[in-house]
Amino acid sequence: MNQRKHNTPLVEMANSPPKRKRQPQGENRITAPCPYFKRCGGCQLQDRSYQDTLLYKDRLINRLLCAFGTAKPIIGMKNPWSYRNKSHSAFVHDKRLGIQNGLYEEYSHKLVPIDRCLIQDERADQIVATIKSMMKSFKMTAYNERTGQGFLRHVLIKVGFKNHEIMVVLVVTSPMFRGKKNFVKALLNKHPEISTIIQNINDKDTTMVLGQREIVLYGKGYIQDSLLGMTFQISAKSFYQINPAQTEVLYETAMNMAGLSGTEVVLDAYAGIGTIGLIASRDAKKVIGIELNGDAVKDARKNAARNKVTNASFHNGDAGEVMVAMANQGTKLDVVFMDPPRSGSTKAFIQAIGKARPKKVVYISCGPDTLARDLGWLKEEGYTVKEIQPVDMFPWTEHVECCVSLEK
């Protein structure tokens, strides 16, 4: 990457794991430290040493992507615990046990009561425990899925790891919240670290956590956090990477792969709240961010203004259509960053990349199987894989984030 024109340090030693010795294929199983390991299913690899989980992921990536080259060793975490900045606890009414809260068992809708999740921020678990203890005195009922009765369905908490701001979202079935002022006062008295409290109304018979309507009960209705020297606004509904320490490693990797020199026109597809595009703007001539979620686009524009970025613009629309339109107009496009959901991209989008003909594509993937499919489509459009770098964004789970650079 070119000499950086800003003072943000590269994230290297703080999150780099010790060098790993290659071991035989069979992992040595250990006793999982989490007492809910066998029931929850969220951390599929907790019965192995952390080193073994990294070796498992190395082999997975190389098996799935072997047609495109050999991946570099995965970048792990120095401390792979309490890394999640977002936690979600479901509340239900049990006829025998009363109010219960926890996580749903993997691939089911069966609640596993959990007091402490070892990969979530401990402050979030403490706040959830306080809310549960307050419910009886405030005559708050938990949701009953069979009858559709009850008030509190979920508690969603987001934490700013660097800015230390905390958002609490109470997902309830009704906008009527009796005693809400006293409830908020009591919660803040026990947890003054909370920055904002939001009442989200979800009165639908759905598995979706959040409803459309929100009422801010305390604070600004959003929190802020910093990544690589930039500040981002995070709302209840906005997507933000759940592991801030490894996100910095991932985004530095992506920027190094792009090799921006200050002359490039960059497209940030799947832009979200603008994290990748705004970080790239420091080393690019111009950044165009495209996102289908209108709320995320609003957040991205606010984030651009907050960070005083003037060479990046964000638009609501389909990135593939934008690339085709730019190609038809003869607009030059140098680099495309793409960070699709786990389901991957679409062939239409990949074909649009082929039409726009950017020199480089930097693909950030959280699904290596769909990544393999999409790299095949990019190969059909004349792109060659130059580098594959896995990053352990989700320690103790089977999920692997991977950053891939391609050139025309």
Q: How many CB atoms lie within 10 A of CB 9?
A: 12
Sheet holding 86-94, edge to edge: 111-113, 98-104, 86-94, 152-159, 166-172, 196-201, 213-218
Instruction: Concatenate the DSSP letters of all residues of 324-337 into one string.
Output: HHHHHTT----EEE
> Which sign, positive or negative, has the C-alpha torsion 35, 37, 43, 49?
positive
Q: Which amino acid is at 233?
A: Q
Residue 275 in contact with residue 241, Cβ under 8 Å?
yes
CA-CA-CA-CA dihedral for 53, 55, 59, 60, to nearest 10: 20
Candidates 68, 41, 72; CA nearest to 57 is: 72
Distance of CA 192 to the CA centre of its chain: 26
Encoded tokens for 34: 């989490």
Residue 79 in contact with residue 117, Cβ under 8 Å?
no
> Which sign, positive or negative, has the C-alpha torsion 123, 127, 132, 137?
positive
The Cα–Cα gap between 301 and 312 comes to 9
In the annotation, is 40 catalytic? no
Active-site choice (117, 366, 402, 403): 366
Residue 199 in contact with residue 170, Cβ under 8 Å?
yes
State the catalytic residues. 366
